Amino acid sequence: MTIELSRSMLLIVDWSRVKSWGNRMFEFFQKLFDTSDYPPRWFCGNWSPGAGWLHVLSDVATFAAYVAIPMALLWMVRRRGADFRFPKVAWLFAAFIFACGSVHLVEAIIFWHPIYRLSGLLKLITAVVSWASVIAVIRVAPLALNVPGVLAINEELRLEVERRARTEERLTAILTSMSDGVIVSDAEGNIELVNPAAVSIFKFDPSDRSYSERLSKYSLLCDEGKTELRAEQLPLRRAAGGEEIDDLEINVLCESKSVDKTILLQGRPIQQGSGKRNGGVVIFRDITQLNETLKDRDLQMQRLERMTASAAQVTHALQSANKGDETFLRVIADVFDCSTVMLSMCEPENTSSWQDNATVEIYRLETQYRGITKESHELPKNRFSEIPCDRLTTEAIGLDVFSLIGNDVHHVGIGGLVTDERVRGVLIVGDRPEPFNNEELDLLKRLSRLISAAVFTRHQIEFETNARIAAEKELTASRKQLERLSRINSVGEMTAGIAHELNQPLTALINFTDAAHQALDSSLNNKSIDENIVAEARTFARRANEQALRAAGVLKSIRSMVQLDSISFSNVRIGPLIDETCRLMCDEIGDHQADIDVSHVNRSIEFQADRIQVEQLLTNLIRNALQAMAGTSQKCIKLSATSDATNVTISVQDTGGGIAKNESEKIFDAFFTNRSTGLGLGLKICRSIVELHGGHIQASNAPSGGAVFTVTLPTKQSVTVVSQDRAF
């Protein structure tokens, strides 16, 4: 009962306190502007007018400034909009500054109206807002420190502008040097860029930039010139609309509506990084001459096929033309052995013969075999030479010769010898005192057609053979040119590799020699020789000498990669090899603030290898690991080495971002890199060194994160091993 009473009394006492506190707070706010309890500040103490007005005017001026500052701050926030990084903090500071100004205003009013309660309330509000501002500043300070400054942003912008200018210059050079035409449009199909090749193909005026208007004067036809493309079917508009166009052949009609040329075209939409299309590009080339060449070749092949199909009939007709007259058949055989551009005459008895200059040069005949004079066959030559004709025209001209000669025939022109679709000469057979009879003339008429066809077929075969020989010569020349370019490319790649690998030791050499000079200069300036400075200079000189020897070793190693027979193998122990490599890399490792774990290295492993090349191999792998860990908080390189009866396995593991799935093989290719610096030759040289030793290298991702490069080398080499190197 006592306990319950005590608790009730306790509750009554607490409620009374709360009620009393509430009454006091109500009374405080009720009298917030009441001035009856306090005198004005003019009457508190001995205020002089000057001192009083000094306080009043200072407080009013401070209030005015504290009102203007937050208004300007909020105006800036409103103008910057979403670009302002911390708008809430800005509003909080504006409230804090305005609250401070309100306190100063009330302090000036108190000189006449002692509203001390309002002054205290405003000071409390100012204190709360002030501490809220302090907390907000502490919270956003790390973020604000990470915001780049104006100078950094301007420098980054300058570098980006320079990079874009270089890229634009290179792209302009590429477009200018292209033999294919390139036209680029915006999303609405308006032409923005035309390269010189397109200007040449469409015969634009380079000073006239109204390309769209000029193009509208051309008509574009597809389906072998049967269908004219509508506006929405134009390749450039289709590409700008997102369509991909491949190998579209179009006939271009000029303003006179005649086919001007034929182009082969490809088109692609231009997309931004966000995937939004902002135009299209078409690339095309003039294939008019190529199409004409292909058509001519097809026509020649068709004619050759027809001639080949009729060859058996021609041979049979020639063999049965004069049964039993072997002398005349020998004359016909001589005809087939002659050039396709010729004039020839043989008597049936073969007592004398005549050939033109081409035949004499081909068969190297003596001049006494030149038979009848030039004037004796002037009529046939004038009738046939350089006359455009086809097969039917040739036969008609041959018959026309018989009608012109008349009945008293002593020599006959048999057909026209056709080459390149033109009659180059006639074949004259027979020259005897007595005329040919009608039966012989009929036989010669039939032979004229057969011999013309046979000679034409022979020419086609010679033409195709010469074309094939020319193509083979061109292919051989192209192969030689490709081999020469390949050798030039190999030399360039090797030169870049040498520069890449010599850069680090030569840089270290310069640093060490500069440090040695500075140490010696310091000693000379002090006019005393400090043993510590001399020792330090000697250390730098020794390290410079080591780096120079290492550079020479790199040159020797690169030369060994080219001349495989000059490689020098020695017995190498893995422990001293890794120690020497880490010592040479210590400065670079320190610059990256990385750690190296060699606790998993079996230091007693010994194998046969080229010491300098393997040292360069480890140097490249460690340097690659350091570059891969750039930007990571934990930087540790783990080296391990194991061996079995035939191989030694060395692995280098880092704690970087690892290797992408599609890069595990490409990273060993020359000039492949995913970093903005470097040439991408380090891992290429590593693979060359490993393959030179008969081993292999592979890259993978470690289960714990990072990349692992595993090198497997044979413990024994098949070549003679030199004496063990002094460093191992």
Tell me the pLDDT tens digit for each residue of 407-431.
444 444 444 444 444 444 444 444 4
231 Cβ contact list (under 8 Å, min separation 6): 237
Whether the pLDDT of residue 100 is over 80: the answer is yes
Q: How far is it, in rounded angstroms, from Cα 39 to Cα 669? A: 91
pLDDT at 156: 84
Whether the pLDDT of residue 380 is over 50: the answer is no
Higher pLDDT, 41 or 431: 41
Asked, colleague to colleague, whether 176-286 and 567-714 share their fold, the answer is no
State which fold the 567-714 domain adopts: Heat Shock Protein 90 (3.30.565)
State which fold the 176-286 domain adopts: Beta-Lactamase (3.30.450)
Domain definitions of the chain by residue range: 31-146, 176-286, 295-470, 567-714
pLDDT at 409: 40
Whether the pLDDT of residue 657 is over 80: the answer is yes
pLDDT at 293: 78
With cut-offs at 50, 70 and 90, classify the pLDDT of residue 458: low
Least confident of 379-388, 570-579, 633-642: 379-388
Residues in the chain: 728
pLDDT at 558: 56
Least confident of 71-75, 187-191, 279-283, 673-677: 673-677
Share the mean pLDDT of the chain. Answer: 70
Least confident of 87-96, 136-145, 417-426, 633-642: 417-426
pLDDT at 526: 63
pLDDT at 677: 59
With cut-offs at 50, 70 and 90, classify the pLDDT of residue 378: very low
**Cβ-count burial of 712 within 10 angstroms (0-12 exposed, 13-18 middle, 19+ buried)?**
middle
Describe the crossing of helices 682-692 and 611-628 by its angle, rounded to 10 degrees.
150
Whether the pLDDT of residue 436 is over 60: the answer is no
Least confident of 188-192, 367-371, 447-451, 701-705: 367-371
- Overall pTM surpassing 0.85 (yes/no): no
Cα dihedral across residues 613, 715, 584, 676: positive or negative: positive
Higher pLDDT, 253 or 523: 253
Q: Kindly state the percentage of the chain with pLDDT values over 90.
A: 5
With cut-offs at 50, 70 and 90, classify the pLDDT of residue 348: very low
Q: How far is it, in rounded angstroms, from Cα 175 to Cα 187? A: 21
Q: How far is it, in rounded angstroms, from Cα 691 to Cα 41? A: 96
Strand partners of residue 348: none
Whether the pLDDT of residue 721 is over 70: the answer is no
Whether the pLDDT of residue 165 is over 90: the answer is no
Higher pLDDT, 23 or 290: 290
Pairing of strands 181-185, 277-286: antiparallel
pLDDT at 656: 87
pLDDT at 214: 58
| Residues 306, 457 contacting (CB under 8 angstroms) | no
